[in-house]
Structure 1
Amino acid sequence: MPTTLDRQISATRATKTPLNRSQITGFWGAWAGWTLDGMDSFIYALVLAPALTELLPRSGYAATPANVGLAGSILFALFLVGWGLSFIWGPLADRFGRTKVLAATIFTFAIFTGLAATAHTVWELGTYRFFAGVGIGGEWALAGTYVAEAWPEDRRKMGAGYLQTGYYAGFFLAAALNYTIGAAFGWRAMFLVGLFPVVISIMVLLRVKETDKWERSETAHPHVKHESSLKAIFNAQYRKRTIVATVLLTVAIIGLWAGAVYEPSAVIQLATKAGMDKAGAARMASIATGLLSIGTIIGCLALPPMAEKIGRRKTLAVYFVGMAASIALAFGWAFYLPNGLVPFIALLVVLGFFGGNFALFSLWLPEQFETRVRATAFAFCTSIGRFFGAIVNFGIGAMVLNMKTLGVPIAITAIAFLIGLAVIPFAPETKGQELPS
């Protein structure tokens, strides 16, 4: 029979540490920024065809399906290179604090997304998307670092899952905007909506308090204040985990982006094959994107409890197996069925769920590095994979052009997750450990 002391201990464990106003405001600022990041990222995929159809002739190229596909791959690769360069935000955040640099990342991607609406050539659009990528890539690293440090230990794991839902809520928001504003006013209006995050950046800068962990670290380590945090994540203490985390994130980026970016084009092709007109096919792509986003949000929320129960490494392995299977089946099988639209969309929901693997990195990466280098490590590991993603994207574009099909080249990217499964055992297991100081 439980004693009074047992009941008191159980009650204490069941009661979560309450969040203060700054923690709540900071989370919603980070979440909203990440949501609008996701919206911004996916706007390009949704407006790719109409934007390039208009801009290619102005740039001296015919707007053929092959040219649209090739130019789309090149521009998306430029976006990923910009995202790869976003690791610069990490050392800045470790030097000057989380909230100021977080606001700067949001401001950067918002301004250049809005400028994309003024593009007159493909190359202008590519330039704006490059700089938007620099801002977008930094937002995840800074938002993830902020939530990990600002939230209490007993809440931060679930906070990582909540935070990651924002990016895919942004996918859903982009799909809804494309269904309404995009359908009515065109692709330029979609990019103009991307200016809205400027408001979020101002709110973050003015109303959110710097994390106590960062301020204590600044006080405790004055002698290393000017040490290169980028150099520090490759010292003997951190080198292995930095490399392993970067490889795992590269795998996740290659797989998810290949499926997510080409999903609207695949749905449009399948919807057209099913007899829908152009407008109906575009709306079906928006619906499919919404379902993909819902699946991913559920996957993000399911992940932290699983990671707490079976550990970080096993959880990532489960999600990687799910991603490999769903990408291969969706693009390698359902895409080629005579009536493949319904099974393809059903598999997109499954793909979305396992695409929630990114929530694990928001939980896991901060646990692997101490405060003075945490933002640098987070930014580096989440950014460098974008360079490899850009290379793969060029390869996918070339394969689509040569094979004259979309499905098989995307299905092949499932192989990346097999590489990831082989690397997972080399990552540290941090289940049950508190965030390092």
Structure 2
Amino acid sequence: MNSTTDRARIARQRTPLNRSQIVGFWGAWAGWTLDGMDSFIYALVLTPALTELLPRSGYAATPGNVGLAGSILFALFLVGWGLSFIWGPLADRFGRTKVLAGTIFTFAIFTGLAATSHNVWELGIYRFIAGVGIGGEWALAGTYVAESWPEDRRKMGAGYLQTGYYAGFFLAAALNYTVGVHFGWRAMFLTGAVPVVIAILVLLRVKESEKWQKAEAGSAPKKPLREILGPAYRRRTWVACALLTIAIIGLWAGAVYEPSAVIQLATRAGMAKGDAIKTASLATGLLSIATILGCLALPPLAERIGRKKTLAIYFAGMAVSIAGAFGWAFYLPNGLAPFIAWLFVLGFFGGNFALFSLWLPEQFETRVRATAFAFCTSFGRFVGAGVNFLLGAAVLHMHTLGVPVALTAIAFVIGLFIIPFAPETKGEVLPQ
């Protein structure tokens, strides 16, 4: 009896985190939070920004032009995200913390500059470069936490880290509810410059991971990109690319069009413009809270039933909730409340991204880990940029955003057939 109790007590014990690991985590988490805030600011201010800038660029600010221009600019942003794979080899060569600070600095500066835009072309350039910075933050933050935290805590560390991105969504919604409503879209972009402070903190206070230091000290000159595409890693690299592509398509289809959908439903229900915008902000906050819960629930589930089964559950949940929200609730006569209820479900299963923060580092050795993480995430963003452009064209052609977004649920169904080809790493330690 006593021995059983002792074993249970030992099982509950976790290796304590030292000061460097704690400071490093919060630096990475804060960067990822402000990354999420920065990403979602665009979705929230899309309509007012383009309504002002399109006439200055020689185009009428019709709903169709706003929708098409918004999709083109977002596609440019995603292309910038895609080019962020450049950060991975840099991090494998020069270290995680210096390059992580560089990504934060890049997206913060160019988000702030977006507030000075005089036309859609300037806004597009600023969002493109900001995307290059934003795209690198996840790969480097995920790699750093996986390498720096103790083996018995890094799985939950991945879940905790991923909550930051959706806390950023919540922060963006709160800012839109206060700053955006009263001071406009330019003030919203200016708030995106705040992460510069976090970049300085990361650079000065966070120590490099010991795993990277050991790998760097003992390794010969390497070409990490060539290695992850070589025979040893080729299959898992391309399977991870495919799964991340599906996750990114679903995230941006749901998240980018969610505020516009809520505003349309609220307006249809008789709300004034200001109240409709506030309702969209509240719905975004609910979506964020649900996603944070999904991120926290995922690591224990992945440890219990395995990585592949967990991702299958989350992908199935995404397919059902996207179809339910945009394909069904959006078209109900009084669809606002049902749509928001479906958003909670969609948000929870949107926590599938936490699995990649946990799973990708387990599939690659230290010397190529950051490159692999950055490459796999960037590949999906390139495809996501194309899908987003097609979505914008479909919305313009069909004069509705519900059906085109609902059709992205098909991607998650395809994902269920790809998951079996991925490696199962449950119970394995992080490879050195």
TM range (shorter): over 0.9
User: Is the aligned partner of 1:372 residue 2:392?
Assistant: no
Tell me the distance in 2 between the aligned counterparts of 1:126 and 1:201: 24
1:70 corresponding residue in structure 2: 68
Q: In structure 2, how many angstroms separate the alpha carbons of the residues matched to 1:403 and 1:51?
A: 24
3-state secondary structure, aligned to 1:333: helix
In 2, the alpha carbon distance for the partners of 1:85 and 1:318 equals: 30
Aligned to 1:296: 291
In the alignment, what sits opposite 2:128?
Answer: 130
Match of 2:266 in 1: 271
Question: Which residue in the other structure is 1:16 paired with?
Answer: 14
CA distance in 1, matches of 2:132, 2:178: 28
Cα distance, 1:220 vs structure 2: 2.0
One-letter amino acid of the counterpart of residue 232, structure 1: E
The amino acid across from 1:306 in the alignment is L
State the AA in 1 paired with 2:367: R
**1:310-389 alignment, distance < 5 Å:** 310-389=305-384
Counterpart amino acid of residue 82 in structure 1:
G
Residue 33 of structure 2, aligned match among 22, 32, 35:
35
Aligned-pair CA distance for 1:9: 4.0
Q: How much identity, in percent, do the aligned residues show? A: 79
Matched, 1:145 2:143: yes
CA distance in 2, matches of 1:210, 1:333: 49
Shift of 1:7: 4.7
Q: Which residue matches 1:154?
A: 152
Between the aligned partners of 1:309 and 1:8, the Cα distance in structure 2 is 21
Question: Any idea what the Cα deviations from partners look like across 1:336-368, whole Å, max 9, x if unmatched?
Answer: 000000000000000000000000000000000
**CA displacement, residues 83-136 of structure 1 (integer Å, 9 cap, x when unaligned):** 000000000000000000000000000000000000000010000000000000
Query: In 2, Cα distance between the equivalents of 1:56 and 1:159?
Result: 43
Q: Distance in 1 between matches of 2:414 and 2:389?
A: 20
Tell me the equivalent position of 2:387: 392
Structure-2-length-normalised TM-score: 0.99
CA distance in 1, matches of 2:7, 2:395: 60
From 89, 114, 117, give the equivalent of 1:116: 114
109 and 332 in structure 1: CA distance in 2 versus 1, 3 angstrom threshold: same
Question: In structure 2, how many angstroms separate the alpha carbons of the residues matched to 1:141 and 1:425?
Answer: 24
CA distance in 2, matches of 1:7, 1:270: 55
Provide the C-alpha distance between the structure 2 equivalents of 1:422 and 1:134, rounded to a whole number of angstroms.
Answer: 31
Q: Distance in 2 between matches of 1:203 and 1:12?
A: 36
1:260-283 C-alpha deviation (Å, 9 max, x unpaired):
100000000000000000000000
Q: CA deviation at 1:219?
A: 1.7
Query: What SS class does the counterpart of residue 117 from structure 1 fall into?
Result: helix
* Equivalent-residue separation in structure 1 for 2:266 and 2:29 (angstroms): 33
How far does the alpha carbon of each residue in 1:118-164 deviate from its partner, in whole angstroms, 9 at most, with x for none? 00000100000000000000000000000000000000000000000
Paired with 1:334 and 1:246, the residues of 2 have a C-alpha distance of 31
- In 2, the alpha carbon distance for the partners of 1:312 and 1:14 equals 22
User: Where does residue 200 of structure 2 map in the other structure?
Assistant: 202
SS at match of 2:425: coil
Partner of 1:179: 177
1:254 paired residue number: 249
Match of 1:104 in 2: 102
* Residue identity matched to 2:280: A
**1:193-248 deviation per Cα after TM superposition (whole angstroms, max 9, x unaligned):** 01110000000000011000000111221x2xx32111110111100000000000
Partner of 1:433: 428
Identify unmatched segments of 5+ residues in structure 2. none
User: Aligned equivalents of 2:7 and 2:285: distance in 1?
Assistant: 43
Give the C-alpha shift of residue 52 in structure 1.
0.1
Q: What does the per-residue CA deviation read over 1:155-186, in whole Å, with 9 as the maximum and x for residues that have no partner?
A: 00000000000000000000000000001100
Instruction: Report how many residues are paired.
Output: 432
Distance 1:174 1:7 in 2: 46
Deviation of 1:8 (Å)? 4.3
Larger displacement relative to structure 2 (415-424 or 12-21)? 12-21
Q: Does structure 1 residue 423 correspond to structure 2 residue 421? A: no
Superposed counterparts of 1:54-93, under 5 Å: 54-93=52-91
Deviation at 1:11, TM superposition (A): 2.9
- Structure 1 residue aligned with 2:45, among 40, 44, 47? 47
RMSD of equivalent CA atoms: 0.7
Give the gaps of 5 or more residues in structure 1.
none
